[in-house]
Structure 1
Amino acid sequence: MEEGGEQTSLLVKENVSWAIGYGVATTCIGLALIGFLVGTPIFQQDEPCGSPVKSIFQVIVASFRNMTLEVPADSSLLYEVKSNHIQRTILAHSDDFRFLYKAAVISDPSLVYGGCRSSWSLCTVTEVEELKILIHLLPIWVTGIFFAAAISQMHTTFIQQGAVMNTKIGSLSIPPASLYSFEVICVTLWVLSMNKVLVPATRTYFANGAELTQLQRIGIGRFLMIFAMAMAALLETKRLQSVQEGELLSIVWQLPQYFVIAGAECFAVITQLEFFHGQAPDSMKSVLTAFALLTTALGNYLNSAIITLIAWVTRVWHSPGWIPDHLNKGHLDYYYWCLTALSLVNFVVYLYFASKYKLKKIVIC
């Protein structure tokens, strides 16, 4: 509802009135709020207990406090809470970042069995594994920031590029920012295609009937972003040539790059949320879901920093620079090629860390 309201509001602002446009957006937000309030009483949720952030710091502090202790070769000697009456879900022991297991080394058994354990000096294996999951996810999360910086072109330079193109389709004038509606529609088409075509095809291709993993889907999204940025660069080169010839290229030529970005968003953004939520321990699902969404905000900030830096450097180097106020005097295509190279490097880095990533293993005891 928010995206539909945003696009409707944008069209009204461009063609009717800004006041009415904001009224449309306000109405949509109000309807969404009513729906939220109506649905809240029937939604059941467990009351949160403890702090996952506090647990992370406890493992770090305990690891350094127990720095002189040796980690036993037998992982069963490490501290873990077990119960003979209640079935519990714990995370399996893994061999990487063994230093952190110093936090689970039992130096004084009397403290454990006497009930005097301090969480700042002795942590469970599961708490250690939760921190290790966060460490493993961090590199993948960082690549998501660079991916988000590239995808944010839809809201920045793509609009600038469209504004200096021929926005007339017959008698209809198309606001450049409204092409985001086309991208939203394409995301829906990509989702349908993935579920109805790609997933069944992979089941047939792989002998064991397996599907593309979440990490593979995210990688496909990262890969598609390279093509989206390259398409935008080629289009801008073509647009500048048409300006020199005294013609304006139609804004319709922007649609393919929006279509490819929609595919990248479908594979990377949606799947990344599922992946972070699925890999998160029970105590950290909300935190890691918010962590995944944070890439969008940081990506927008990174994009602003990149644009500002490139505009300043190229203006000093050769006025008016690559991204001047009047794009016909600049070279936005060079900027897009820089993003293409950045997306390529980001994809390679992602492949490395994704290949090293080990999915969490759960043990019921």
Structure 2
Amino acid sequence: MADTEAPGYGEPGRKHGGWITFPFMMATLLGLSITSFGWLMNLIVFLIEEFNIKSIAAAQISNIVNGCLSMFPFVAAILADSLFGNIPIISASAFISLLGIVLLTLIALLDNLRPQPCETGSNLCHSPSKLHLGVLYSALALVTIGTAGTRVTLSSAGANQYEKRKDQGSFFNWYFLTINIGAIISATAIVYTEDNASWKLGFGLCAAANLISFIIFISGKILYKHDKPMGSPFTTLIRVLVAATLKRKAAVSSKEEDYHHGKEAKTSTAIPSKSFRFLNRAALKTEEDMKQSGNSNYNSWRLSSIQEVEDFKIVLRLLPLCLAIVCVSTPIAIQSSMMVLQALVTDRGLGPHFKVPAGSILVMSIISSCIFIIMNNWLVFPLYQKLAHKPLTPLQKVGIGQVFTILSMVISAVVEAKRLQTVGNEHPMSVLWLFPPLILVGIAEAFHLPANVELFYGEFPESLRNTAASLTSLVMGISYYLGTALINLIQRTTAWLPNDINHGRVDIVYWVLVIGGVLNFGYFLVCSWVYTYKNLKDDNDQKKDTTDVTT
């Protein structure tokens, strides 16, 4: 099969793509991962130390940035699918990220771009001016947009280089491994440099990594298989809703000939399913449709095919599960920022000469996630299939991840209560006490993050599968914003989250998250129990399993 080339790229008749592009893709991904995690994982500390921003406010800003980083890939995926293609989006995003990290480096380098530091031994600090905040937010906006623009599109562009499913699967394994390697390098070497050498050196290393990755990606451009934009698949879904609304007064028919099947009838039934009957009107052929059609050219904003209607219904059936995933991701978003603040007020010394950077403690969840992803694929999942004679379904994996998330919040609450008892003592609590809940978070993510992608990619219609991977990121982005709103609510209504958490009750916040997690898990059980898979089949191609979560 010949490769599809975008106009103006490559040489005519030359085959593109394949494993020759792999080094370019991986080097680009590694450099961009080091860049993004290098500034992101230590952002709270940077805002507190260099911009004199209060701790809770810094955590809020971090949550907003994380939310944007998770939501913007969804927009980038739509732009790539509908207008520009993946390669141009990656090139532009990598350059925008470079501009942002260079501006962050200049902020760290030039004293005029930051407020004066707090006086030693005094609580008197100069707040950042509008100019300081304007430059800071501009830099954060650039690096956020640039990073988000490459997160999903780079994975899609890499997978598009291969025609065989096996090769695509291998690429995705390397993709996630490379991201985690970049995160670990950033959380250790880059964050340590920022805390113990200088911020300008740490950000400068990130800028160098970004520049090198950008040059490498551009250098391999002639080798890439360029995907051709095919139009946004979401337009089709909007058309279904518009068509059903325009014909809302029409009577739903049970006759096959009354419905539009489109050029390719992919549905197993001749008429739309009975669920969400309102949408069936979108495929119903009315007299006005017949008058406007002429021959066979129907107005797509008035008449959709049965397949398009059924695709919309699939999306609607997944929305309740998306809500459950949002609610389980929100506590993780809050915990990640609270953990950094907790680390700042613990004893971070390991031995006489080493001090753990506060931003680096989150690497424990990344390492834990990597280890358990490997263990799950090589040991846990095969062992379960051997004992139960069937594989774990995606929703069962998500349910297991939710249980570990709740356990993590319980341990976090207990640890914080113990830490508060040591406040004022000569020896504060060791930072090592924060590791167990982070390890549990990593285990939870090893179960539910890949399963979420598997669920969306497998269940969404074919026309939406290129964008399905970005939906998990979108859900996580919503979670960060909900976490920010919840923290604001707690601050306004309680005394649990003062700027000095030593005088607060972060442990109660964690218990609130535990209660919310238990309620959400019950909701998830109900949703998964009634959900019927559309594309999931076991190895023997037997009847689909409709019971999704076991207890």
Which of the residues 234, 238, 249 maps onto 1:57?
Answer: 238
Length-normalised TM-score, structure 1:
0.88
**Residue in 1 aligned with 2:186?**
6
Pairs within 5 Å for 1:303-322 = 303-314=483-494, 321-322=495-496
Alpha-carbon distance between aligned partners in 2 of 1:243 and 1:278, rounded to the nearest angstrom: 50
Identity of aligned pairs, percent?
Answer: 27
Alpha-carbon distance between aligned partners in 2 of 1:289 and 1:199, rounded to the nearest angstrom: 22
Matched, 1:69 2:243: no
Q: Residues 270 and 33 from structure 1, CA distance in 2 versus in 1: closer, same or farther, beyond 3 angstroms?
A: farther
Matched, 1:299 2:482: no
Matched, 1:269 2:421: no
Which whole-Å deviations, capped at 9, do the CAs of 1:86-108 have from their partners, x for residues lacking one? xx755765431122111112234
Matched, 1:211 2:385: no
**Residue in 2 aligned with 1:229?**
409
**Residue in 2 aligned with 1:18?**
199
* Equivalent position amino acid for 2:437 in 1: Q
Matched, 1:352 2:545: no
* Stretch of structure 1 that moved more, 64-73 or 118-127: 64-73
* Equivalent position amino acid for 2:347 in 1: N
Pairs within 5 Å for 1:83-232 = 89-90=266-267, 94-108=273-287, 110=290, 114-171=295-352, 172-207=354-389, 210-232=390-412
* Equivalent position amino acid for 1:184 in 2: I
* Equivalent position amino acid for 1:174 in 2: V
Which whole-Å deviations, capped at 9, do the CAs of 1:295-341 have from their partners, x for residues lacking one? 22221111111112102211xxxxxx111122221111001111111
**Residue in 1 aligned with 2:438?**
258
**Residue in 1 aligned with 2:169?**
none
Which whole-Å deviations, capped at 9, do the CAs of 1:32-60 have from their partners, x for residues lacking one? 33443355544435423233222122111
* Stretch of structure 1 that moved more, 44-53 or 121-130: 44-53
Alpha-carbon distance between aligned partners in 2 of 1:170 and 1:197, rounded to the nearest angstrom: 36
**Residue in 2 aligned with 1:29?**
210
CA contact (8 A) 2:237 2:308 kept: yes
Q: Residues 299 and 40 from structure 1, CA distance in 2 versus in 1: closer, same or farther, beyond 3 angstroms?
A: farther
Which whole-Å deviations, capped at 9, do the CAs of 1:166-218 have from their partners, x for residues lacking one? 111112111121012222111110111101111111111223xx211111111
Q: Residues 274 and 239 from structure 1, CA distance in 2 versus in 1: closer, same or farther, beyond 3 angstroms?
A: same
Matched, 1:331 2:505: yes
**C-alpha deviation, 1:78, in angstroms:** 2.7
Could you list the runs of 5+ residues in structure 1 that have no partner in the other structure? 315-320
* Stretch of structure 1 that moved more, 29-38 or 58-67: 29-38
Q: Residues 96 and 43 from structure 1, CA distance in 2 versus in 1: closer, same or farther, beyond 3 angstroms?
A: farther
CA contact (8 A) 1:5 1:28 kept: no
Alpha-carbon distance between aligned partners in 1 of 2:530 and 2:220, rounded to the nearest angstrom: 41
Q: Residues 146 and 358 from structure 1, CA distance in 2 versus in 1: closer, same or farther, beyond 3 angstroms?
A: same
**Residue in 1 aligned with 2:129?**
none
Which whole-Å deviations, capped at 9, do the CAs of 1:113-133 have from their partners, x for residues lacking one? 821311122110111112112
**Residue in 2 aligned with 1:317?**
none
Length-normalised TM-score, structure 2:
0.59
CA contact (8 A) 1:91 1:361 kept: no
Alpha-carbon distance between aligned partners in 1 of 2:526 and 2:186, rounded to the nearest angstrom: 38
CA contact (8 A) 1:58 1:119 kept: yes
* Equivalent position amino acid for 1:80 in 2: H
CA contact (8 A) 2:239 2:304 kept: yes
Q: Residues 102 and 189 from structure 1, CA distance in 2 versus in 1: closer, same or farther, beyond 3 angstroms?
A: same
* Stretch of structure 1 that moved more, 277-286 or 234-243: 277-286
CA contact (8 A) 1:5 1:24 kept: no
* Equivalent position amino acid for 2:331 in 1: A
- Provide the secondary structure at the position in 1 that maps to 2:423: helix
**C-alpha deviation, 1:343, in angstroms:** 1.5
- Provide the secondary structure at the position in 2 that maps to 1:169: coil
**C-alpha deviation, 1:282, in angstroms:** 2.4
* Stretch of structure 1 that moved more, 334-343 or 108-117: 108-117
CA contact (8 A) 2:248 2:281 kept: yes
Q: Residues 56 and 194 from structure 1, CA distance in 2 versus in 1: closer, same or farther, beyond 3 angstroms?
A: same
* Equivalent position amino acid for 1:305 in 2: A
Q: Residues 45 and 91 from structure 1, CA distance in 2 versus in 1: closer, same or farther, beyond 3 angstroms?
A: farther
Could you list the runs of 5+ residues in structure 2 that have no partner in the other structure? 1-29, 34-182, 537-551
Q: Residues 91 and 338 from structure 1, CA distance in 2 versus in 1: closer, same or farther, beyond 3 angstroms?
A: farther
